[in-house]
């Protein structure tokens, strides 16, 4: 029992460390001062300023829209790519493709941003939402591949053989065996892509135009003037919203899964009876 | 598989909802294309209330896009694909943009507020006769000290920074021109020095400062000084004003032997399209009342004489941010140096940063 | 699986992406690396890189700190992922590990400045214990701490997915056969979760090589990495040639690492 407690303590510690800076940010969103130092007493003023700031709200909406859409598309392309790499049997080709895959991860954002900008202007692609979306998809794909590929490698050949012996077509194997097996990897890839998109500043800066802006660009551009606590208030709101979304999603999924599990257990029991 | 599909559908629904909301907001802000003004500026570098006022007064819609460094802005405008009407580069960048043929000359006949500007900030070397630019804010490079750790009057000159008592107590702003610049001034040389031996000497003197240097940082220096993390910092007056608003123990000194004078000026880049809106905006911002309101919001020194008179007496007489004629005369404005020389400044500064400890 | 017509769907989108957004920019970067600051075609950038001690030291710094960050992140993440696996509501806890990454990096860095500063939370706490204020900021400790903080979720996620696949019966069998806890770990658990660890290490080490910003914000420019240098060449000196040269070196270094750690034999045998 004692060991059990220690392990819980460790997890609690990890979570505390992960959340301390965020608690700090949110605490200061209620401070009467102008910056993140010397707490000056409680106020709602920064939240009021935030909700009156239409430009900021517009930026937040655009940022979320961009992050969701780009990570969805990147996850799709990345997963297909991981399947393609997995099918390659020659190690040299595989290593080469994986190296190419990781280039965007190892290159600093300024290089990526500058080269994408040159690329778009050379092809006369207008700068704005479209160019930013393409860039976000582009730099999110590698992380998706990195998350999905190990799951594919864990998959046992015997499983696929069994499915084929049972007469499944390739499409069926893919949708009934492979995809369910790699789903955790796909979801991780999606979340990581979402994170990449939300956090990117340099690439977005270079390829944006036409009045389109994201939250990260706005925050970095404000650094010279000092980031106002309105941004803290915004982070607080977004954080609480995401928290509720995550918890809500989890419990909805939980309840549907227990139902399914019950269902499955029942049918298995029936099957057992039948075979005995 | 089913779970994945339902997730995808949920995300697509969310995306569609956000897109509708975004389009609705865009419409409600009155952006229709022709009556807009695309302003490309530093983040939070204008009072948002003034933008609203301008929109109400003139009916133009202001698109406010932001950048975080002169060089990044230069790259964007040079590369094309954008249609910015106005931007706010610093002085050396104006010279660079002029050389690259990226600016449109001002039509003075359409400007009404130029007479409000202080003669100190007009007709400077980077833009003789102000053919291309109108001052927006200006300032100096100087020393910030915390009176908890440093007595008033203890630091008056650049050379005071080298005193051994400030061991591990000075923060420098991460800018090659400025840091090598004050080292040059302390040697009695020009901040626009281009010859290698003099620069080497300045770097050598800077190496002697290394034991006193606690960190080389950028925008976050404001937070550090407000948090009493160091006793002394070398930074620009604008940043100093921001941190002094946070911490009453901080003071700003411009060394009397001279310093750097910097300017952020409004210019019209070649990408501009909406000229009526541009001149309406320039005249709006030069109106003393508006310029004063903007100076109060941003906290930097205004180049607008008439606006300065509208600001509180304490601000007008503040030697820290409106230094005497004598100091201004002794200070230098950065010239746009040859790329090879800029490279030399940066290499020397990089070496200074790499090998201190 | 047999290859057939539908398999085109796997190759085309990903291949297009590789061609347009990876290979094309890389060619552009290589092309630029042969130009000096005045736009003359030259090999001088490479010469500067390999002959100046500054850049060699910088390369060493980058690899060394990326290594430290990866090790620290792994040491914290592996037990976390392992313990998470045995909690109730593990999926929820996992999502809660990702959540902090959605807050802007710059803001979190500013929060850390507040926490670690002379007047900050930790020093106030130490003050209550009677320990004099300590210098945290601008030390290796704070730099690696904050960098690891940023990277932890990227490590936990793949490791967690690896552990999820762990067949509990192997672990039990090993225990039943009288293996000590440590033996079970090194002989059974670790080999079976290695693929998750590998993708976690890649997801952390590779981006850490080009880390910038934090080296200045939290490290006070005491350590300068290749990422910082590239940033400066692109945004301060505007010497894109030199910046691209460092970029090329980084890419080559990454490719070498990939080939060294990558798959060699056909269908590597499963441990």
pLDDT of residue A256: 72
Q: Does A217 touch chain B (CB under 8 A)?
A: yes
Between CA B318 and CA B324 the distance in angstroms is 10
- Intervals of chain B under pLDDT 50: none
DSSP-derived letter for residue B38 is E
Hey, what are A111's tokens?
Answer: 């290089």
Hey, what are A269's tokens?
Answer: 């029991």
* Phi, psi (deg, nearest 5) at residue A6: -60, -40
pLDDT of residue B301: 95
For B133, what's the count of Cα atoms within 13 Å in the CB-facing half-sphere?
Answer: 32
Hey, what are B220's tokens?
Answer: 């976050």
Q: Does C122 touch chain B (CB under 8 A)?
A: no
Hey, what are A131's tokens?
Answer: 């160019």
- Separation of CA B211 from chain center: 29
Q: Which residue of chain C is at minimal alpha-carbon distance from B336?
A: C237
Contact present, A39 and C120 (Cβ < 8 Å): no
CB contact under 8 A, A78 and C14: yes
DSSP-derived letter for residue A32 is S
For C142, what's the count of Cα atoms within 13 Å in the CB-facing half-sphere?
Answer: 25
How far from B200 is each of A265, B187, B192, C162, CA to CA, in Å? 79, 12, 14, 56
Between CA C114 and CA C112 the distance in angstroms is 5
Considering only CA atoms, which of B81, B109, B139 is closest in space to residue B265?
B139
Between CA A21 and CA B53 the distance in angstroms is 38
Quick count: other Cβ atoms within 10 Å of Cβ B236? 23
Contacts of A101 in chain C (CB under 8 A): 18, 22
The 3 state secondary structure assigned to A97-119 is: HHHHHHHHHHCCHHHHHHHHHHH
* Phi, psi (deg, nearest 5) at residue B102: -110, 0
Contact present, B83 and B273 (Cβ < 8 Å): yes
The DSSP string of B194-262 is --HHHHHHHHHHHHHHGGGEEEEESTTHHHHHHTT--SEEEEEHHHHHHHHHH-TTEEEE--TT--EEE
pLDDT of residue B264: 96
Looking at chain A from residue 132 to 171, which residues have their Cβ under 8 Å from any Cβ of chain B?
A: none
pLDDT of residue B33: 63
Considering only CA atoms, which of A263, A259, A83 is closest in space to residue A175?
A83
Q: Does residue A61 form part of some domain? A: yes
pLDDT of residue C125: 84
Disruptive mutation site among A67, A150, A190 for chain C (greatest number of C CBs within 10 Å): A150
* C164: CATH: 1.10.3720.10
Q: Does residue C241 form part of some domain? A: no
Distance from CA of A208 to the nearest CA of B (A): 9
Q: Does residue C172 form part of some domain? A: yes
Q: Does C107 touch chain B (CB under 8 A)?
A: no
CB contact under 8 A, A68 and B64: no
CB contact under 8 A, A121 and B220: no
DSSP-derived letter for residue B6 is H
Contacts of C17 in chain A (CB under 8 A): 77, 81, 137-138, 141
pLDDT of residue B81: 85
CB contact under 8 A, C110 and A36: yes
Average pLDDT on A60-79 reads: 95
pLDDT of residue C228: 87
* A174: CATH: 1.10.3720.10
Considering only CA atoms, which of C73, C23, C109 is closest in space to residue C201?
C73
Hey, what are A136's tokens?
Answer: 């976000």
Considering only CA atoms, which of B174, B96, B38 is closest in space to residue B335?
B96
Between CA C32 and CA C241 the distance in angstroms is 5
Looking at chain A from residue 196 to 225, which residues have their Cβ under 8 Å from any Cβ of chain C?
A: 198-199, 201, 215-216, 219-220, 223
C-alpha distance across the termini of chain B, in Å: 57
Total count of domains within chain A: 1
Contacts of A216 in chain B (CB under 8 A): none
Q: What is the tens place of the pLDDT at every residue in A163-181?
A: 888 888 888 888 888 888 8
Boundaries of domain holding A209: 47-234
Compute the residue count for chain C: 271
Contacts of C239 in chain B (CB under 8 A): 339, 343, 346
Smallest Cβ distance to A102: which of C28, C254, C263? C254
CB pairs under 8 A between A and B: 128
Quick count: other Cβ atoms within 10 Å of Cβ B147? 13
Boundaries of domain holding C157: 62-214
Write down which chains contact chain B via at least 3 CB pairs under 8 A: A, C
Q: What is the tens place of the pLDDT at every residue in C154-200?
A: 999 989 988 887 777 888 888 888 888 888 888 888 888 888 898 89
Contacts of C37 in chain B (CB under 8 A): 339-340, 343
Which CATH number describes the domain made up of B34-138+263-316?
3.40.190.10
CB-based contacts of B176-180 (< 8 A; 24+ apart in sequence): B176/B345, B176/B346, B176/B348, B176/B349, B176/B350, B176/C236, B177/B92, B177/B334, B177/B345, B178/B141, B178/B234, B178/B236, B178/B260, B179/B206, B179/B216, B179/B234, B179/B349, B179/B352, B180/B206, B180/B345, B180/B348, B180/B349
Between CA B37 and CA B86 the distance in angstroms is 8
Distance from CA of C216 to the nearest CA of B (A): 6
The 3 state secondary structure assigned to B138-161 is: EEEEEEEEECCCCCCCCCCCHHHH
pLDDT of residue A1: 43
User: H or E element: which one contains A166?
Assistant: none
Hey, what are B269's tokens?
Answer: 């880049």
CB contact under 8 A, B350 and C229: yes
Contact present, C76 and C148 (Cβ < 8 Å): yes
Between CA A262 and CA A259 the distance in angstroms is 5
Which residue matches tokens 């210019």? Answer: B267
Q: Which residue has the higher pLDDT, A72 or A221?
A: A72
Residues 6+ positions from C234 with CB-CB distance below 8 Å: A110, A111, A114, B71, C240, C243
* Burial of residue C4, with CB atoms counted within 10 A of its CB: 0-12 exposed, 13-18 middle, 19 or more buried: exposed
DSSP-derived letter for residue A33 is S
DSSP-derived letter for residue B335 is P
Between CA C44 and CA B128 the distance in angstroms is 37
DSSP-derived letter for residue A125 is P
* Phi, psi (deg, nearest 5) at residue B260: -100, 140
Residues 6+ positions from A159 with CB-CB distance below 8 Å: A177, A181
Quick count: other Cβ atoms within 10 Å of Cβ B335? 16
Smallest Cβ distance to A58: which of B26, B48, B65? B26
Q: Which residue of chain A is at minimal alpha-carbon distance from C243?
A: A111
Give the start-to-end residue ranges of the domains of chain B.
34-138+263-316, 139-261+324-354
Kindly give the pairing relationship between strand B232-236 and strand B260-267.
unpaired
pLDDT of residue C88: 84
Contacts of B67 in chain C (CB under 8 A): none
Q: Does residue C163 form part of some domain? A: yes
Total count of domains within chain C: 1
SS3 assignment, position A42: strand
Contact present, C131 and C165 (Cβ < 8 Å): no
Smallest Cβ distance to A179: which of B1, B14, B42? B1
ipTM for this model: 0.87
Mean pLDDT rounded to a whole number for chain A: 86
Q: Does B248 touch chain A (CB under 8 A)?
A: no
Smallest Cβ distance to A141: which of C9, C17, C23? C17
pLDDT of residue B31: 59
User: H or E element: which one contains B61?
Assistant: strand B61-67
Write down which chains contact chain A via at least 3 CB pairs under 8 A: B, C
- Intervals of chain C under pLDDT 50: 1-4, 266-271
Looking at chain A from residue 253 to 272, which residues have their Cβ under 8 Å from any Cβ of chain B?
A: 253
CB contact under 8 A, A199 and C101: yes
Considering only CA atoms, which of C86, C67, C245 is closest in space to residue C163?
C86
Looking at chain B from residue 59 to 88, which residues have their Cβ under 8 Å from any Cβ of chain A?
A: 63-68, 72, 75-76, 79-83
The 3 state secondary structure assigned to chain C is: CCCCHHHHHHHHHHHHHHHHHHHHHHHHHHHHCCECCCCCECCHHHHHHHHCHHHHHHHHHHHHHHHHHHHHHHHHHHHHHHHHHCCCCHHHHHHHHHHHHHCCHHHHHHHHHHHHCCCCHHHHHHHHCCCCCCCCCCCHHHHHHHHHHHHHHHHHHHHHHHHHCCCHHHHHHHHHCCCCHHHHHHHHHHHHHHHHHHHHHHHHHHHHHCCCCHHHHCCCCCCCCHHHHHHHHHHCCCCHHHHHHHHHHHHHHHHHHHHHHCCCCCCCCCC
Smallest Cβ distance to B351: which of C37, C54, C235? C54
Smallest Cβ distance to B42: which of A210, A217, A224? A224
Same fold, B34-138+263-316 and B139-261+324-354: yes
Q: Does residue A213 form part of some domain? A: yes
Contacts of B218 in chain C (CB under 8 A): 216
Contacts of C195 in chain A (CB under 8 A): 150, 153-154
Hey, what are C235's tokens?
Answer: 């945004």
Contacts of A221 in chain B (CB under 8 A): 42-44, 66-68
Q: What is the tens place of the pLDDT at every residue in A206-259?
A: 998 878 889 998 898 888 788 889 999 999 999 999 999 888 888 887 777 777
CB contact under 8 A, C247 and A188: no
CATH top class, domain B139-261+324-354: alpha beta
Q: Does residue A272 form part of some domain? A: no
Q: Does residue A249 form part of some domain? A: no
């Amino acid at each position: 029992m004692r060991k059990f407690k220690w392990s819980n303590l460790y997890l609690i510690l990890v979570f505390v460390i992960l959340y301390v800076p965020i608690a700090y940010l949110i605490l200061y969103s209620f401070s009467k001062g102008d910056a993140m130092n010397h707490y000056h007493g409680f106020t709602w003023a920064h939240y009021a300023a935030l909700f009156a700031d239409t430009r900021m709200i517009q930026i937040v909406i655009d940022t979320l829209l961009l992050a969701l859409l780009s990570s969805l598309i990147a996850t799709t392309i990345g997963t297909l790519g991981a399947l393609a790499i997995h099918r390659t049997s020659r190690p040299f080709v595989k290593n080469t493709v994986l190296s190419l895959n990781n280039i965007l991860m190892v290159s600093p954002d300024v290089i990526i941003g500058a080269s994408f900008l040159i690329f778009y202007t050379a092809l006369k692609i207008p700068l704005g939402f479209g160019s930013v979306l393409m860039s976000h998809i582009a730099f999110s794909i590698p992380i998706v591949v990195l998350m999905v590929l190990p799951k594919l490698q864990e998959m046992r050949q015997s499983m696929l053989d069994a499915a084929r012996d049972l007469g499944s077509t390739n499409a069926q194997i893919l949708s009934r065996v492979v995809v369910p097996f790699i789903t955790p990897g796909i979801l991780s890839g999606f979340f990581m892509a979402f994170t990449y998109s939300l956090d990117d500043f340099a690439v977005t800066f270079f390829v944006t135009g036409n009045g389109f802006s994201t939250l990260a660009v706005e925050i970095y551009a404000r650094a010279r003037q000092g980031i106002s606590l309105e941004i803290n208030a915004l982070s607080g709101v977004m954080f609480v919203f995401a928290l509720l979304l995550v918890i809500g999603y989890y419990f909805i999924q939980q309840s549907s899964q227990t139902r399914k599990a019950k269902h499955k257990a029942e049918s298995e029991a029936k099957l057992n009876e039948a075979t005995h | 598989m089913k779970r994945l599909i339902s997730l995808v559908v949920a995300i697509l629904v969310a995306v569609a909802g956000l897109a509708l909301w975004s389009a609705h907001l865009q419409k409600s802000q009155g952006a229709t294309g022709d009556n807009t003004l695309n302003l490309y500026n530093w983040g939070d570098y204008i009072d948002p209330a003034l933008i609203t006022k301008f929109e109400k007064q003139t009916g133009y819609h202001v698109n406010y896009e932001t950048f975080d460094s002169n060089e990044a802005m230069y790259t964007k405008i040079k590369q094309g694909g954008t249609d910015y009407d106005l931007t706010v580069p610093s002085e050396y960048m104006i010279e660079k943009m002029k050389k690259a043929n990226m600016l449109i000359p001002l039509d003075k006949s359409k400007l009404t507020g130029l007479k409000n500007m202080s003669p100190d900030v007009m007709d400077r070397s980077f833009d003789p006769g102000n053919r291309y630019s109108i001052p927006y804010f200006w300032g100096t490079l100087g020393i910030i000290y915390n009176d908890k750790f440093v007595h008033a009057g203890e630091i008056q000159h650049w050379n005071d920074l080298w005193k051994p008592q400030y061991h591990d107590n000075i923060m420098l702003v991460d800018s090659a021109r400025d840091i090598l610049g004050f080292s040059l001034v302390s040697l009695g040389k020009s901040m626009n020095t281009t010859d290698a031996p003099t620069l080497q000497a300045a770097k050598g003197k800077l190496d002697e400062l290394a034991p006193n240097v606690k960190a080389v940082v950028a925008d976050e220096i404001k937070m550090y000084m407000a948090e009493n993390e160091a006793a002394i910092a070398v930074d620009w007056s604008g940043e100093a004003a921001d941190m002094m608003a946070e911490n009453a123990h901080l003071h700003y000194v411009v060394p009397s032997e001279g310093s750097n004078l910097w300017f952020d000026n409004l210019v019209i880049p070649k990408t501009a399209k909406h000229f009526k809106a541009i001149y309406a905006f320039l005249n709006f911002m030069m109106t003393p009342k508006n310029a004063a309101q903007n100076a109060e919001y941003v906290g930097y020194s205004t180049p607008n004489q008439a606006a300065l008179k509208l600001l509180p007496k304490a601000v007008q007489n503040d030697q820290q941010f409106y230094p005497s004629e004598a100091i201004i005369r002794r200070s230098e404005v950065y010239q746009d140096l040859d790329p090879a020389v800029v490279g030399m400044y940066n290499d020397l500064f990089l070496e200074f940063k790499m090998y201190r400890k | 699986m047999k290859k057939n017509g539908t398999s085109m769907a796997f190759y085309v989108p990903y291949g297009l992406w590789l061609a347009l957004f990876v290979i094309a920019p890389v060619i552009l970067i290589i092309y630029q690396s042969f130009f000096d600051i005045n736009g003359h075609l030259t090999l001088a950038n490479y010469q500067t890189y390999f002959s100046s001690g500054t850049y060699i030291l910088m390369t060493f710094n980058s690899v060394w700190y990326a290594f430290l960050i990866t090790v620290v992140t792994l040491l914290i993440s592996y037990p976390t992922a392992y313990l998470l696996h045995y909690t109730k509501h593990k999926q929820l806890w996992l999502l809660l590990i990702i959540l902090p990454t959605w807050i802007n990096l710059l803001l979190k860095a500013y929060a850390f400045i507040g926490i670690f500063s002379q007047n900050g939370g930790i020093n106030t706490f130490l003050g209550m214990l009677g320990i004099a204020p300590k210098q945290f900021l601008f030390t290796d400790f704070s730099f690696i701490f904050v960098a690891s903080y940023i990277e932890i979720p990227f490590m936990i996620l793949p490791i967690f997915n690896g552990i999820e696949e762990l067949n509990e019966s192997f672990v039990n069998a090993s225990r039943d056969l009288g293996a000590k806890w440590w033996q079970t770990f090194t002989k059974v658990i670790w080999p079976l979760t290695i693929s998750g660890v590998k993708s976690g290490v890649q997801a952390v080490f590779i981006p850490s090589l080009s880390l910038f910003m934090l080296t200045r914000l939290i490290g006070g420019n005491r350590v300068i990495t290749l990422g910082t240098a590239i940033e400066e060449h692109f945004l301060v000196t505007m010497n894109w040639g030199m910046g691209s040269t460092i970029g090329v070196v980084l890419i080559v270094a990454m490719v070498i690492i990939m080939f060294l750690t990558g798959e060699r034999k056909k269908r590597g045998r499963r441990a």
